[in-house]
Structure 1
Amino acid sequence: MPLASHDGRDSVAGRRAGEPPGVTGPAPYAALSPDLVLAAVDAAGSWSDGRLLALNSYENRVFQVGLEDGGFVVAKFYRPDRWPDAAIEEEHAFALELAAAELPVVAPLVVEGRTLLRREGYRYALYPRRGGRAPSLESPDQLEWLGRLLGRMHAVGSRDRFHARGTLDRATMIDAPMRAALGSDLLPAHLFDAYRNAAGRVDDAVARRFEAVGPLRHLRLHGDCHPGNVLWTDAGPHFVDLDDARMGPAVQDLWMLAGDDAAMDALLEGYAQFRDFDPLELALVPALRAMRQVHYAGWIAERWHDPAFPTAFPFAAEARWWEQHIADLHDIADDLMDL
């Protein structure tokens, strides 16, 4: 994952000068108290009434905050050092661009001309609260609706490119997480070589698949378009959480919503109403799925110092989980080679 520069930090737990303990280092959210969250909301001009609910999020910290006028905002505190400021601002600009194109995307609130705010060393943004339920991915009508929206989203995404957010590629989805796992105490020492061999086989197989498909058009993507990031209401769906937005092939925003070929067909039927889709990209789906599998284990390993992760993912501390993960990676590599 891209990291901000380490220039200008003091020597105490990797903090920048003037930052309180806990903003970076082993427990980056240790100083993020409820009082700080409420004060950050107040400082942005949305006066809180003390109601605070932590929402399900591991990479960042996200809170629903009640307001004195009876409404709510969602406050998102970004994980220190994951993205540089320019990358977060690109994400925000993309969300606002999509919203301006009348796409149902939850975009950050603009506060005195800014979307990226700061409070006591933390970077944060405020969002309007938007509820909803999970989409029904067994419904061809809902899948076609989502396909139309993704076609429109990609039409906007193809107008420009990201410069600070990088590209969905083997470097970010395989190499970096593989190094994180190999450098972590989570991976049992006796499985070190076995994991490196299995992940390396997946990397080789993915590289061959991308080479076989050939050059692709890359565009600005949602990047993590799984069902949990789509909320359905009586008025239809809306998309949330562009935190993993990157450059990449269009199929990345489709495959996680498609449980089978029929579902993909329904998505593409809607998609084609607003944008052409290169069918060659469908051959990338097994490779993209493999990249996500490698990334998942590396992500847990890289974040294990965060106290939320051992609680949420206790299985990752067990050798048998890594043994199964290694076996799964070999199966994935075999399947990719056979396709």
Structure 2
Amino acid sequence: MASLSPPFSDLNPSRIVRAIEEVGFRIGSEPFALNSYENRVYAFRDEDATPWIAKFYRPARWSDAAIGDEHRLLGQLTSAGVPVGDVWRNAQGESLFHVEDQRLALFPQLRGRAPELDNMEQLFALGQTIGRLHAASASLLLPHRPHFDAASQCRESRDTVLASGRLSGTTREDYAAVSDAIVNTISKLSLPKVASIAVHGDCHPGNILGDGEHFALVDFDDCGYAPAVQDLWMFLSEHHEQDTQAQLAELIEGYEEYRDFDRRELAWIPLLRICRLMRHSAWILNRWHDPAFPQAFPWVESSDFWRDHVRALEVQRLNLQQPQWLA
């Protein structure tokens, strides 16, 4: 059986430059690789010294139509005045370009720094930004983007981890037991029925840039449908109730300057947290044939990592079952 060819294996510097120039840009600086594992992302300057981002999409992850949904969402948000890194379009209105075997999009490079989550004024500003996003996106149709399904996500993550061969002995048994219990618990959860809207989908501090008073959103690669709280919960402290209450108050106050927030959605946070925890480890294993992943996540080969992961899942499983003060 032939080995799976690593993605981006032939994306060398000359091909990167050639692809960008074929789209219609003239390079004024050597492209610089940014930290991005799912796709390949490069910063460069054009001949006028304007900074840009070139994003090469991972093969076979999203269809062209799904990427088109991402770009339509960005266009909608930009038209509504929401601060985002909009995609560049050529004179024909095209935003996704096929260059040889690569798919490429260009974005203006936004400047700024990640928010400080212990700064209440910045959390208020974050809430405003997310509120503006959801006010503009709530009615938008993204027909080729997924809807959040916790049970399916956790089941697929469990199957990926168990099939990987990374776990053995009692660690494998413990993981199988706790992941089965999580899937079973999720299937029996009685959470408030809340609306799903078009969301950023991966809204964490690394995808927010600003100056402390105003923030912009970047990297809509995971956009899809979910409760609004999906774009808020990753700015919250997990371990300190008093801190979390204060953070929530600022986020929601800022958010509600632009859109009402259904507080019943807070009951979804433990579910969103455990899904992300399970998906992250499965995501790494799914991408292990990409040489960037063993280099970036070497601890995945450690039995200690998996024992710690099982313990973390057990803590989150208990949080699912016990009444949550957030609800």
Superposition TM-score, scaled by structure 2 size: 0.92
Percent identity for Structure 1 against Structure 2: 36
Structure 1: how far apart are the matches of 2:283 and 2:314?
19
Q: Aligned AA for 2:191? A: V
Correspondent of 2:276 among 285, 292, 296: 292
Relative distance call for 1:28 and 1:89 in structure 2 (3 A) is same
In the alignment, is the contact (CA less than 8 A) between 1:201 and 1:330 conserved in 2? no
Relative distance call for 1:172 and 1:118 in structure 2 (3 A) is farther
- SS in structure 1 at match of 2:235: coil
**1:12 CA drift (Å):** 7.1
Deviations 1:119-164 (A, max 9, x none): 1111110011111111122222221122122112111221123211
Determine whether 1:271 maps to 2:255.
yes
Gaps of 5+ in 2: 238-243
Determine whether 1:48 maps to 2:32.
no
Determine whether 1:330 maps to 2:308.
no
Relative distance call for 1:187 and 1:162 in structure 2 (3 A) is farther
The equivalent residue for 2:147 is 167
The equivalent residue for 1:181 is 161
Determine whether 1:104 maps to 2:88.
no
**1:230 CA drift (Å):** 0.4
Determine whether 1:205 maps to 2:167.
no
Correspondent of 1:254 among 232, 237, 240: 232
Determine whether 1:222 maps to 2:206.
no
* Aligned residue runs from structure 1 range 6-155, under 5 A: 25-111=4-90, 112-155=92-135
**1:172 CA drift (Å):** 5.2
In the alignment, is the contact (CA less than 8 A) between 2:29 and 2:45 conserved in 1? yes
Q: Aligned AA for 2:160? A: A
- SS in structure 2 at match of 1:32: coil
The equivalent residue for 2:137 is 157
Structure 2: how far apart are the matches of 1:150 and 1:103?
9
Aligned length: 316
The equivalent residue for 1:243 is 221
Relative distance call for 1:195 and 1:26 in structure 2 (3 A) is farther
* Worse-superposed segment, 170-179 or 81-90: 170-179
Q: Aligned AA for 2:180? A: G
Structure 2: how far apart are the matches of 1:161 and 1:171?
24
Deviations 1:11-36 (A, max 9, x none): 976xxxxxxxxxxx440110111111
Q: Aligned AA for 2:308? A: Q
Q: Aligned AA for 1:102? A: G
Give the root-mean-square deviation of aligned CA atoms: 1.8
- SS in structure 1 at match of 2:228: coil
Deviations 1:102-123 (A, max 9, x none): 1101011002321111111111
- SS in structure 2 at match of 1:109: coil
The equivalent residue for 1:8 is none
**1:176 CA drift (Å):** 2.0
- SS in structure 1 at match of 2:313: helix
- SS in structure 2 at match of 1:51: coil
- SS in structure 2 at match of 1:165: coil
* Worse-superposed segment, 187-196 or 176-185: 187-196
Structure 1: how far apart are the matches of 2:172 and 2:141?
38
Structure 1: how far apart are the matches of 2:198 and 2:214?
23
**1:208 CA drift (Å):** 3.5
Superposition TM-score, scaled by structure 1 size: 0.89
